[in-house]
Amino acid sequence: MALSIRLARGGAKKRPVYRIVVADSRSPRDGRFIEKLGTYNPLLPKDSEQRVTLDAERAREWLAKGAQPTDRVARFLDAAGVRPRPARMNPKKGEPGEKAKERAEARAAKAAAAAEASAEGADA
């Protein structure tokens, strides 16, 4: 059985509250789960201790049994010191596209021409 540590949504419309659960990866998001490990309330301030509650010891046991955390839960586990999250780096993602590069080059050329014209006007 493929296990995952993930979030199960609860709460009212536009007022989410999540349970951090261990579940079979094939079961529905809010469906059957094996064990509840904690809660996550995104509506609380980020510095609040009640925003994320997590049973770190049980999480370690489930990770040892082969459960795979989702990206969001992996962040919680990293913050709790249970499992370090590897750094993700994609330097190409931050680069502008081809059209944006062309516009930047055109803007730079126009600015250089304007600066050159103003310098010639100051010399005369």
Q: How confident is the model at residue 124 (pLDDT cuts 50, 70, 90)?
A: low
Do 77 and 85 form a contact (C-beta atoms < 8 A)? yes
Pick from 87, 33, 95, 93: nearest CA to 58: 33
Please tell me the pTM assigned to this model. Answer: 0.70
Q: What confidence score (pLDDT) does residue 116 get?
A: 84
Give the C-alpha separation, 68 to 2, whole Å.
8
SS3 state at 85: coil
**What are the tens digits of pLDDT across the range 41-96?**
999 999 999 999 999 999 999 999 999 999 999 999 999 999 998 887 888 888 88
